[in-house]
């Protein structure tokens, strides 16, 4: 990449970050708190704002009417969404949009239709290449699990043994079984019983990696904001006429957490660069698994430590810091737990070295 291209990329990233500046307000945290536990769990006004800002067309190529930006911009935006714990499934919708075309794509980019992926069939399964969901006489049979915030969607891109299929939420034969989650959101199981479909061209493999990295970046935003809130708290909370942040043991814990957060950031940046430039999907998967495993572990570490450093108030529902822990507990397993990604990473490394 030339110096000019590097400068242009930095300017684009700055514009994305600038467009998301409103997410830093305390009002956004209050909004996330108010939406938890409700169905469908999102704000349509917020989704319209997301559409107006062009975020839903972020990964859609220019020739299809999109902005055509890269993974680094996706991660920068996802991190800001994580910092305010936005419950809307924005990273999933952004990455799924390029699979669509025609009226479906137009409706997604305009914000009038939310389309989410449905690919997972078993807990801990990271592969979408051999799904059991299938077509029988042109109708869909089978089930998909763990579809995040599914009740907010108007349709789903479903991986099947016959390729990708679009299914509308109100399609006959589709039943949704929803489970509430710790952060106030939900997962849904989609059961298809001779459900009508609309065929979609393309592959979900790369899209899955993009979403996974977007979730890792979202977790980075969660841990950064939890760390910042905790830093302010230990600076102002006094004990023995001194701020507890002046105690060496607290300083050491905060420095350790800061280092871990920076390592997550570096891992995500590296994975984004590899996912954008590497012709090898296996190499991209390795990088994404490294980033997601580290982000999952550190998000839980930082948010748990943040609650503890707040003392008794941190364990109350009124304290915002506890919401960050709940969010981390949910998303650390979304699109693959740390254990699942470490296992995949080991398998890929061994295969690359000819040991499998």
Please state the three-class secondary structure of the chain as a single string.
Answer: CCHHHHHHHHHHHHHHHHHCHHHHCHHHHHHHHHHCCCCCCCCHHHHHHHHHCCHHHCCCCHHHCCCCCCHHHHHHHHHHHHHCCCCCCHHHHHHHHHHCCHHHHHHHHHCCCCEEEECCCCCCCCCCCCCCCEEECCEEEEEEEEEECHHHCCEEEEEECCEEEEEECCCCCEEEEEEECCCCCEEEEEEEEEECCEEECCCCHHHHHHHHHHHHHHHHHHHHHHHHHHHHHHHHCEECCEEHHHCHHHHHHHHHHHHHHHHHHHHHHHHHHHHHHCCCHHHHHHHHHHHHHHHHHHHHHHHHHHHHHCHHHHHCCCCCHHHHHHHHHHHCCCCCCHHHHHHHHHHHHHHHCCCC
- Both tokens of 145, joined, read 């699990």
Which residues lie closer than 8 Å to 22 by C-beta, 6 or more apart? 28
Reference 81, options 140, 149, 170, 134; nearest CA is 149
- Both tokens of 342, joined, read 């470490």
Alpha-carbon distances of 256 from 60, 83, 252, rounded to whole Å: 39, 20, 6
Regarding whether 347 and 209 lie in a shared domain, the answer is yes
Regarding whether 214 and 338 lie in a shared domain, the answer is yes
Burial class, 172, CB count within 10 angstroms (exposed 0-12 / middle 13-18 / buried 19+): exposed
Regarding whether 124 and 89 lie in a shared domain, the answer is no
- At 4 the pLDDT is 67
Tokens 């990088």 label which residue?
287
Q: Which domain holds residue 164?
A: 116-200
- Both tokens of 110, joined, read 């305009």
Regarding whether 294 and 234 lie in a shared domain, the answer is yes
The CATH number covering residue 127 comes to 2.40.110.10
Regarding whether 212 and 188 lie in a shared domain, the answer is no
Please state, as a whole number, how many other Cβ atoms lie within 10 Å of the Cβ of residue 167.
24
Question: What is the C-alpha separation between 247 and 118, in angstroms, rounded?
Answer: 49
8 A C-beta contact, residue 145 and residue 101: no
Regarding whether 211 and 336 lie in a shared domain, the answer is yes
Going 275 to 101 to 17 to 255, the CA torsion angle's sign is negative
Regarding whether 215 and 322 lie in a shared domain, the answer is yes
Regarding whether 218 and 255 lie in a shared domain, the answer is yes
- Domain end position, chosen among 145, 174, 200: 200
The CATH number covering residue 286 comes to 1.20.140.10
- At 3 the pLDDT is 60
Regarding whether 94 and 31 lie in a shared domain, the answer is yes
The CATH number covering residue 22 comes to 1.10.540.10
pLDDT, averaged in runs of 10, over the chain (356 residues)? 70 90 93 95 97 97 95 97 98 98 97 97 80 93 96 97 96 97 97 97 95 98 98 86 81 97 98 94 96 98 96 90 97 96 95 76
- Domain end position, chosen among 88, 113, 138: 113
Regarding whether 126 and 106 lie in a shared domain, the answer is no
- At 248 the pLDDT is 87
- At 124 the pLDDT is 82
Regarding whether 266 and 127 lie in a shared domain, the answer is no
Please state, as a whole number, how many other Cβ atoms lie within 10 Å of the Cβ of residue 317.
9
Regarding whether 166 and 298 lie in a shared domain, the answer is no
8 A C-beta contact, residue 274 and residue 289: no
How many structural domains does the chain have?
Answer: 3
Q: What dihedral do alpha carbons 169, 67, 266, 304 form, nearest 10°?
A: -40
Question: What is the C-alpha separation between 32 and 30, in angstroms, rounded?
Answer: 5
Question: What is the C-alpha separation between 342 and 90, in angstroms, rounded?
Answer: 26
- Domain end position, chosen among 113, 137, 157: 113
Q: What is the value of pTM for the model shown?
A: 0.95
């Amino acid at each position: 990449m030339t110096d000019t291209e590097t400068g242009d990329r930095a300017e684009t990233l700055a514009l994305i970050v600038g467009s998301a500046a409103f997410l830093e307000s305390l009002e956004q945290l209050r909004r996330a708190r108010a939406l938890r536990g409700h169905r469908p769990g999102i704000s349509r006004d917020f989704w319209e704002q997301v559409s107006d800002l062009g975020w839903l067309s972020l990964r859609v190529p220019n020739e299809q009417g999109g902005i055509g930006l890269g993974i680094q911009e996706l991660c920068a935006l996802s991190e800001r969404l994580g910092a305010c714990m936005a419950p809307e499934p924005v990273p999933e919708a952004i990455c799924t949009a390029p699979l669509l075309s025609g009226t479906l794509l137009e409706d997604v980019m305009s914000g009038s239709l939310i389309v989410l992926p449905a690919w997972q069939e078993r807990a801990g399964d990271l592969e979408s290449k051999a799904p059991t969901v299938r077509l029988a006489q042109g109708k869909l049979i089978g089930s998909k699990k763990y579809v995040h915030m599914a009740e907010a969607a108007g349709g789903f891109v479903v991986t099947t043994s016959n390729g990708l299929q679009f299914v509308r939420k109100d399609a006959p034969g589709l039943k949704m079984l929803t489970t509430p989650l710790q952060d106030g959101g939900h997962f849904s199981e989609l059961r298809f019983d001779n459900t009508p479909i609309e065929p979609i061209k393309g592959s979900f493999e790369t899209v899955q990696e993009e979403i996974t990295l977007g979730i890792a970046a979202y977790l980075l935003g969660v841990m950064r904001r939890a760390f910042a809130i905790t830093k302010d708290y230990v600076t102002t909370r006094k004990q023995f006429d001194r701020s507890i942040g002046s105690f060496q043991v607290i300083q050491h814990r905060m420095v350790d957490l800061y280092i871990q957060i920076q390592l997550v950031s570096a891992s995500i940046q590296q994975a984004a660069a590899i996912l954008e430039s590497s012709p090898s999907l296996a190499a991209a998967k390795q990088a994404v698994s490294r980033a997601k495993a580290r982000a999952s572990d550190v998000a839980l570490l930082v948010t748990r430590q943040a609650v503890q450093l707040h003392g008794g108030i941190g364990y109350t529902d009124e304290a915002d810091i506890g919401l960050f822990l709940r969010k981390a507990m949910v998303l650390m397993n979304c699109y693959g737990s740390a254990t699942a990604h470490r296992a995949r990473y080991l398998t890929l490394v061994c295969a690359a070295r000819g040991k499998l």
